[in-house]
Amino acid sequence: MMIDTCAPDVKVVDAVKTTLNAVGSSNRADYKTIDRPISQPAFANPFLPTENQRLYTVAHDLRNPLGAAYTLLNFLLDDDNLTDSQREMLNMAKETTCYSLKLVGNLLTESRVNQAEPEPTDVNEIVPLCVKVLLLRADEKNQQLTYNISGPSQMVAMGAEKLARVIDNLVSNAIKFTPCGGKITVNVCSTANQVQVAVQDSGIGIPLHLQRKIFSCNSGVGRKGTMGEESFGLGLPICKRIIAEHNGKLCFTSLEGMGTNFHFTLPKVTGQSIELVA
């Protein structure tokens, strides 16, 4: 299925871009810029290991601006004079903000054991939403962003907000490291036991000396995109951890100058319970 990238209404584009950039900041934030000493977090959970307190501080501090964005979007949607295109764009921004708020809420309420609870989600519903939200960013680079879904409902034991976070990270990276005019495709398929999501791009690829480091935090793999976009090297390690916690695998193939294919698999929900990794 190919998404039509028709030009959106100009009067609402800037507001939506600003909102989406604020919502996406949780994936791009440089946590080293936090001024509050780690020993005095705004939100301190005594059950958390010390090394996780900074993450929880960030999650707590993101809750208010995300809540403000959600309220603003609801206010804008109350306007009866919105065109259909404007209302669709604002609803996409609202859904994305809602997913981010749920993610922040999960971080703030996690128990001592870092174990994800199975929440069946239909991959076929999340992929189109993520692609539509990122079309504006792809359009800025004149890129062709499409998706293909093979088969009916494909359920996995992962919350919608976490699944959306993984897909958003992978597609955002593809946009970032693909030149203007390039192509990005998200493919979804499944077998009897697994669901696979693959993000294929025609970008600059990953140099060999970085390929063994991209899933490690603090390994100096951050590099600028094809239009100078900032990168902190945090997205892929986060994706790897989320997928692993749900008994899945995240892999990639890449040739420098030829493009990259990131693909992950997750156990398919078939009516039986799935035991997750602690």
Among the residue ranges 22-26, 117-121, 173-177, 240-244, the one predicted with the least confidence is 22-26
Contact 265, 196 (CB under 8 A): yes
In a domain, 275, yes or no: no
Confidence of residue 18 (pLDDT cuts 50, 70, 90): low
Picking from 52, 87, 109, the residue at the C-terminal end of a domain is 109
Distance CA 208, CA 229 (A): 21
Same domain, 103 and 139: no
In a domain, 115, yes or no: no
Write the CATH number for 211: 3.30.565.10
Picking from 109, 133, 153, the residue at the C-terminal end of a domain is 109
How far from chain centre, in Å, is Cα 124?
15
Our count of domains for the chain comes to 2
- Whether 151 has a pLDDT exceeding 90, the answer reads no
Query: 118 or 90: whose pLDDT is higher?
Result: 90
Distance CA 253, CA 261 (A): 5
Instruction: Specify the pLDDT at position 201.
Output: 97
Q: In percent, how much of the chain has pLDDT > 70?
A: 70
Contact 141, 182 (CB under 8 A): yes
End-to-end CA gap in the chain: 37
- Whether 214 has a pLDDT exceeding 70, the answer reads yes
Instruction: Specify the pLDDT at position 197.
Output: 98
Instruction: Specify the pLDDT at position 219.
Output: 59
Tokens of residue 228, six digits? 């100078």
Task: Record the pTM.
Answer: 0.69
Amino acid at 224: K
Same domain, 133 and 87: no
Same domain, 237 and 124: yes
The boundaries of the domain holding residue 40 are 10-109
Greatest alpha-carbon pair distance for the chain in Å reads 55
Confidence of residue 5 (pLDDT cuts 50, 70, 90): very low
Same domain, 260 and 200: yes
Round the CA-based radius of gyration of the chain to a whole number and report it: 19
Same domain, 77 and 161: no
Distance CA 211, CA 209 (A): 6
Q: In percent, how much of the chain has pLDDT > 90?
A: 38
Distance CA 117, CA 272 (A): 14
In a domain, 216, yes or no: yes
Mean pLDDT for 90-96 is 84
Distance CA 64, CA 208 (A): 41
- What digits encode the pLDDT tens for the residues 231-273? 777 889 989 999 999 999 999 999 999 999 999 999 999 765 4
In a domain, 210, yes or no: yes
Instruction: Specify the pLDDT at position 155.
Output: 95
In a domain, 184, yes or no: yes
The 3-state DSSP class for residue 138 equals helix
Distance CA 68, CA 97 (A): 10
Picking from 88, 109, 130, the residue at the C-terminal end of a domain is 109
Instruction: Specify the pLDDT at position 36.
Output: 35
Residue 236: burial class (beta carbons within 10 Å; 0-12, 13-18, 19+): buried
Distance CA 63, CA 106 (A): 11
Instruction: Specify the pLDDT at position 145.
Output: 97
11 Cβ contact list (under 8 Å, min separation 6): 86
Query: 238 or 199: whose pLDDT is higher?
Result: 199
